Every structure is written in C-alpha cells, then in structure tokens.
Amino acid sequence: MAVEQRRLAGEDDLALARRAGLGDRQGFAVIAERHGPAMFRFARRVLFDDGDAEEAVQDALVAAWRNLADFRGDAALRTWLFRLTLNKAHNLRRRRRPEPRDLSVGQSVPAPDDPAHETIGHALVAALDEALATLPLNQRVAWLLREIDGLTYDEIAEVMHTSRDAVRGQLHRARRALAERLAPWR
C-alpha cells in the first residue's frame, strides 16, 4: 500500500480526485496527506482551537470523500477543500457558543533553539493571533487564504463565495487593521 501511495504522490490533484471519486482510498490518502496540513492551519486560525480545527478538517475530509465523485474540476481541488473546511468551521461556530480564549497560550510556531529568538517569535505569533482574532471573520479568512496559504484573489473569491473585488476590499481592510495593531513590532 505504501508503495502505491508513493507512486500516486506524483499525480496531479485532478487525477487523484478522479481516482478517489471512483473509490480509490489510496488516491484519497494522498489528497489528505497533501492538503490536510494546510486545511488544519487554516481551520486553526479561523477557529482558534486545535480540537475544533481537527474536527472541522476531519468533517471536511469526510465530505470530500463522499462528494469527490461529483467534483468536476471547475476550481482547483485545493480551493474546493478550503471551501469545505470553511463550511465545516462555520458549522462548528454555529453549534457552539463562543468562549473567551487566551490566544497566547500554546498557539505559537516552534522557533530555533536560541532563547531570545524563541521568546520574540512566541510573542510575535501571539500578537499576530490576537490581532487576527479582532478582525471580522471575512477579513480574517481572506487574509489567511492569501498570506498564509497563497491562494489567488480568484481562488479566495471561490472559497468565500464572493467577488474578486470584495476579496480585494476585505484584504485591504484586514492588512490596514493588522498593520495598526502590529505597529509596535516594526
């Protein structure tokens, strides 16, 4: 099985989606390995909770498995998976009442062994997380998809079910707000 997955790892997303849509579990495993980490990072920053992010990604992958037979390839597979992840994150937010969270605890990216660099890195990531938490959801989603995941404006518009111009506006407002909130870090 591992040999087949390694062979499939070289296939493009559309070919893998077609294989998985026909029930190929190994093809789907490659899709999950390829896109799962980015889906988790995205969900984590939308929901601010590792457990909720894991649940959203798991639900998105289940939905993807069930619906890949209907995937036509009009959008990139990655874009489609981010849309599923965003939908599942919205569903979780609706089901649960918001709880205040300490955004600075346990939510930073590992840094090199240098203690000073590690301290600054943790503080900067915590400041960014806090600043992101203050953004309206659409601005935060647009910023994450562009700056963290590198999607194009058109891909973001597809994920968010909006226009390219609306994405540009959301990104502009998000960048301006983040620049104001993170000004002490310049």
- In order along its 186 residues, the chain shows pLDDT tens digits of 555 656 666 688 999 999 999 999 999 999 999 999 999 999 999 998 999 999 999 999 999 999 999 998 888 999 999 999 999 999 988 887 545 444 444 444 444 555 555 555 567 778 888 888 999 999 999 999 999 889 999 999 999 999 999 999 999 999 999 999 988 877
- Of 66, 98, 130, which residue is a domain's last? 98
Which residues form the domain of 153? 115-186
| Whole-number Å distance between alpha carbons of 159 and 38 | 14
> Tokens 């790892």 map to which residue?
9
Cα three-residue angle 72-152-175, rounded to 5 degrees? 140
The number of beta carbons lying within 10 Å of the beta carbon of residue 134 is 12
Looking at residue 152, which CATH number applies to its domain? 1.10.10.10
| Whole-number Å distance between alpha carbons of 56 and 87 | 8
